[in-house]
Structures are given as C-alpha cells and as structure tokens.
Structure 1
Amino acid sequence: MNAAPVVSVAPVSLPAPDRGHDLDVRVSAPVIGTDLPVVLFSHGFGSSLRGYGPLTDSWAAHGFVVVQPTHLDSRALAVTSSASPWRSRADDLRRILDDLAVLVRAVPGLEDRVDTGRIGVAGHSFGGQTAGLLLGLRVSDPDGVPGPDLSDARVQVGVLLATAGRGGDSLAPGMIERMPWLNPTFEGLTTPTLVVVGDADRSPLTVRGPEWMTDPYRLSPGATDLLTVVGGEHSLGGVPGYEAAETTDEDPARVAVVQRLTGAYLRSALVPGDDAWARTRQSVDPALVRLESRVPERA
C-alpha cells in the first residue's frame, strides 16, 4: 500500500505495580485503512518509545499498528537495572499482548480498524533478543541450562535486527560475567522470522566479528530469510532514530532498503494473499543488500 499519514498517541500507561514503574507505550497507526495488523517493537538497550522512528513511522505509514514500550533499562527512566533485564523486557511485551485492547482504544477511531488476531514482533539489538523470546529464543544460564520458554502463540512472525548470536566461546572475555543474559539458544525459535544484519557490524561483545549476528538465522529452525546490509554497522544506516547519536554509519539508502524489505516481509506474513515480499525481494540492489532464504519464494 502507499504511505499514509500517521497518528501516534504517547505515552499510554499500563498499570504495572509489580514492575516498579507503569509501562509506558506509544501506539502509532495510519489514519486510513481497516483490518490493520499489529507489530510490537522492542527498542535497543537504553532507548525508549520515542526511538526508532525511521522504522516504526514507516511501518505505521504502510498499514501497521505499531506498539512501542519503554523498557526499564531506558535512559528516560533512570531506574536501577533489573537483575534479569531480558526477563522484564519479555514481560513488557506479554503485558502489551494481554492489554492490547486497552492500547488500541487510546487512539481515537482505531478500535474498529485493527485486527488484533494478526501480530508480529520486532526488535533491534537487545530488543531483537527480547522479540526473539516471544518467537522461541531461550536464554541459558552461564552453565548452559536453558531458561524458561517464553514463546507466545499470539505472535505469528518476527523481524530481528542486529541481534546477538550464541554465547559461550563466541563471547569476548568477561562478557558472560557482565551480561549473563547474553547466552541465547535458538533451537526453539520456530516462528517465521526475518533476520537483518550488517556485514560491518563488529561488536565488542564477540570474538567472531559480523558473522556472529547471523546466528539467529543459521541456528534457528524458524528463521526463513537473512537480509545482509552491505557496509551496515550496528545501526544499519540509522534505524535507531533520526539524527541519533549512536548511528555510526549514517546512510539514508540503507535505512530505506531496511524499511522497505522489513515492511514487505511483515505484510506478506500478516496480510493474507499479500505478495509484497515476493515482489520486493526481486527488486533489491545487490550493492545495498544480500538476501538468503531457506524456503522457496513465497507470496
């Protein structure tokens, strides 16, 4: 569909007495359209519901209701970090799913235009691991014992952007002690998922270089496609925000292709009969991105 004007309401606060701070959420949607699917977006460490406009604005303009929480690790809250930030983040997303009707009603005129039975989840960096938990990713303890299965059957598709790979000997020295949650396993990630990486994303968390970020695709049975952004660093050209300070590889062309391909993947997964993914993947510029797929080309 063509881009439409977008309306956003923020913050919408969900009571969360067990959390220590109410869960603040932004809800964005196009001003036109019906049967709109929903995408939950989990921000990277330290960001908030006000980040990631280049992605979330684009998805909303092209027919999605986008829901963005502020997790407890956000710099906007100045809250002492949870001992298990990965678990509190997953709880945030599950709370949103439980209270989705409340959030939809916060946007005037949206309640009758949304289809809350069609849901995707996406995230960048630590937010990618968070989204992955609802898709079947599990976090193991430092001894390799898998943590709880937090997958959610209400979620039908995922997009993981610049998301950490496996732990163990892939991690830089001392990382597992500092960040014990940085030890994911992907065998249980069975929900259809697009993994997006940058081939110049050299994270200090790993000894393996940019290839580490491809683990969510290579090690999970559910990930169907791998999108590699040529020359992309951790910000993938600037997806964390307009003129965001953490962007080290600012490139509007990279952002545009990530917007277009992620939106197409979500549409084809959540809108019956939509062939956006098949059409869009045929027109990519190999100078900007590379695509790898495990499944036949699909509508």
Structure 2
Amino acid sequence: MRRRPAAMIAAAALLSTGLAGCSGGTAPAGRPAPDAPPKATTPAPRVPPGHAPKESFAVGVRQLKLNRDGDRPLPVTLWYPARGEAGGTAERSAPAAAGRFPVVLFSHGLGGRPEDYRVLLTRWAAAGFVVAAPKFPHTGAGGDGNPLDVLNQPADVSYVLTQVLALDTRAGDPLRGRLDPERVAATGHSAGGVTTIGLFTAGRDERLDAGIVFAGTSLGVGTAFAGAAAPQLFVHGEADEVVDYAAGKAVYDAVPWPKAMLSLPKGDHGRALLSDGTALRVVADTTVEFLRWTLYGDEAAKKRLPADATRGGLATLDDHL
C-alpha cells in the first residue's frame, strides 16, 4: 500500500469503527434539519438530451479477470442488456442486445461480493445499462477485511473502467460496439459508497457523469468535490446501524452539484439493497430513473423520479436536481 499523509491515515482508521461490518455499531442519529443546498455549478446532466429505452431487456452476465499493478486482483462481474425474453434470470454469456449502452460501476461493501447485489444490479441491466462490479482484494469476501484499503479502491474502479471501456473496440469481444464511453456513472454501498465518493473528490475521475452513494460516508476521502458537475443521488436508511444517517447527510450537504437524497425512515444499513421486497423496488425504480436522466439525458425520467421515490410512503426525497 502506498504511503499516505498522516491526516488521511487517521481518518481512514475511523473506517475500522464505522464500517466494521453490516450489523451492529452505534445507534443511528435522527435526521438533521435540512440545510440550503449549494447551487449547482453547471447545468446537468452533461450528456445530450435523449430518451432511455422504454422496453426491458433480458440480462446476460460474464466475468472479467483483471489485476491492477500485478498485485491487486479485481475479478469483475458484468451484467448487460442481452437478446431474448425479458424477465428471467441472468444468462451466462448471453449475446448482447443491439444498441450502445451507458456503463455503471458498482462497488460492494466491506466483506461483500458483487453477486450479493444482483437483484438491484440486474434491474439496472434490464433497464439498458452495462453494470461492472469488481470484487476488491482486501475488502471483498474472503479478503483480510482491512478497511484502510478502501482508500486504494477509487483507483481500482478507475482502472476497471478503463479496462471495461476497452471492450468496446476489442476485436471479437461480445460487447464490441455496445458500450458508450461518454455516459458513465459510479455507484457503491457502504465501503463501496466511500469508494464512490472518493471518485468525485480526491480521486476524481473526469469520465464520470453521475454517482449514486448507498449508505456512504466521507471518512478518508473527504468532501472536496472536484471537476465538472456530476449529479449525485444518496440513498440512506435513517435506522442505519453501521453508518449513521447524519454522516451520509453531511456528505450530501457538501455536494455542490445537482443532487437528491432518498431517505428510508425504517431503512437499516443494507436490507433494501440485498433482499427483494417493496423497499428494494422503491430504491431500484428511483435509481433507474436517476440513471436514465443522467446517462441517457431523459428529462421524462427526471420528472418521474419524485413519484417513484415516494411511492407507498416508504421513503422521502430531498430533491435538488
């Protein structure tokens, strides 16, 4: 691991407390009073106006074996729109559907695996997105669980993005001509949320057009959001037992770009992402509409987003998009 400034090491050390697991932890804080959001620096989204696919796709799945710098193995699961009848389970190595699709990176939580989130991620793929989810060498299942390594993960994600986008021009690859390198988002849960925030702060990747942070905090990566405006959606349970709701809200408040925060009053640290149910459907529908707007430039999706977010009274939406 490369050397880091003492302040960053001290901040990262807190991760071992704040992200030590997906159960237990300190009691959640109540929702703080809303603050006036910073004004957006530029109009958003950056992509030209357009229309997201109206139909649902079948979903294919495949694996990539990547390794950054020879000592950071990063197996990547790819879910993508595929030919065939929509609504079934993901089919391994299914032929890709016709079209060019935006790319969405997803970073798992501490001790997690990409497949833990397959219900949500396959819904994104069925809506017309190629989802690339690496398993990180230290914070993934079977790793040593070192939370300090989260600070290396933004660079891992940028490396994965480069390798995935290269498939678009690789002769003979099943995704050749199917990826749109100008429409890219980063997303992540818990430690993966920290990773995602880092991609817009200290480790800013200018290829990213948008971000979604699930139950994330800025510990170790800060809130110095940099670069061109990239809309952000935060999703956080108010009963989160691992990352206090107030910690996520503080990062959200610091975002200087178009943003929204989906708050689940009864939501914990991850159940709405890991198991199918009404809460996951609200989260899935809200995130799909956000991605349709930010990556396809679909204004109709943006208009639908508040209704999807508040359907059934399971969540509230602070909307500054």
**Structure 2 residue aligned with 1:155, among 196, 208, 216?**
208
> Is 1:164 the counterpart of 2:228 in the alignment?
no
Q: Distance in 1 between matches of 2:223 and 2:152?
A: 20
Are 1:229 and 1:236, in contact at CA under 8 Å, matched by a contact in 2?
Answer: no
User: Which is bigger in relative contact order (C-alpha 8 A, separation at least 6)?
Assistant: 2
Are 1:28 and 1:66, in contact at CA under 8 Å, matched by a contact in 2?
Answer: yes
Q: Distance in 1 between matches of 2:208 and 2:238?
A: 28
Alignment-derived partner of residue 55 in structure 2: 2
Alignment-derived partner of residue 221 in structure 1: 256
Deviations, residues 50-86 of structure 1 (Å, cap 9, x unaligned): 221121111001100000001122454435748x412
> Is 1:294 the counterpart of 2:320 in the alignment?
yes
**Structure 1 residue aligned with 2:161, among 89, 97, 103?**
97
Q: Which amino acid aligns with 1:23?
A: L
Alignment-derived partner of residue 128 in structure 2: 63
Q: Which amino acid aligns with 1:69?
A: P
Higher helix share: 2
What TM-score do you get using the length of structure 1 for normalisation? Answer: 0.76
Are 1:72 and 1:89, in contact at CA under 8 Å, matched by a contact in 2?
Answer: no
Q: 1:228 to 1:106 in 2, by over 3 A?
A: farther
* Offset of residue 274 of structure 1: 4.3
Alignment-derived partner of residue 140 in structure 1: none
What TM-score do you get using the length of structure 2 for normalisation? Answer: 0.71
Are 1:261 and 1:277, in contact at CA under 8 Å, matched by a contact in 2?
Answer: no
**Structure 2 residue aligned with 1:30, among 61, 78, 81?**
81
SS at match of 2:199: helix
**Structure 1 residue aligned with 2:239, among 200, 203, 209?**
200
Q: Which amino acid aligns with 1:187?
A: A
Q: Distance in 1 between matches of 2:151 and 2:171?
A: 27
Structure 2, unmatched stretches of 5+, are: 1-53, 83-96
Alignment-derived partner of residue 175 in structure 2: 110
Worse overlay, 267-276 or 51-60: 267-276
Q: 1:37 to 1:109 in 2, by over 3 A?
A: same
- For these two proteins, the number of residue pairs brought into alignment is 250
* Offset of residue 192 of structure 1: 1.3
Are 1:132 and 1:160, in contact at CA under 8 Å, matched by a contact in 2?
Answer: yes
Are 1:86 and 1:130, in contact at CA under 8 Å, matched by a contact in 2?
Answer: yes
Are 1:162 and 1:197, in contact at CA under 8 Å, matched by a contact in 2?
Answer: yes
Q: Which runs of 4+ in 1 moved over 6 A?
A: none
Alignment-derived partner of residue 16 in structure 1: 68
Worse overlay, 100-109 or 114-123: 100-109
Worse overlay, 259-268 or 215-224: 215-224
Structure 1, unmatched stretches of 5+, are: 137-148, 166-181, 243-250
Of all paired residues, the percent bearing the same amino acid is: 27
Are 1:135 and 1:152, in contact at CA under 8 Å, matched by a contact in 2?
Answer: yes
Are 1:30 and 1:64, in contact at CA under 8 Å, matched by a contact in 2?
Answer: yes
Q: Which amino acid aligns with 1:4?
A: F
Are 1:121 and 1:157, in contact at CA under 8 Å, matched by a contact in 2?
Answer: yes
Alpha-carbon RMSD across the aligned residues, in angstroms, is 2.4
* Offset of residue 38 of structure 1: 0.3
Alignment-derived partner of residue 185 in structure 1: 222
Q: Distance in 2 between matches of 1:94 and 1:63?
A: 22
* Offset of residue 253 of structure 1: 0.5
* Offset of residue 256 of structure 1: 0.3
Q: 1:271 to 1:75 in 2, by over 3 A?
A: closer
* Offset of residue 106 of structure 1: 10
Q: Distance in 1 between matches of 2:150 and 2:270?
A: 21
Q: Distance in 2 between matches of 1:79 and 1:212?
A: 26
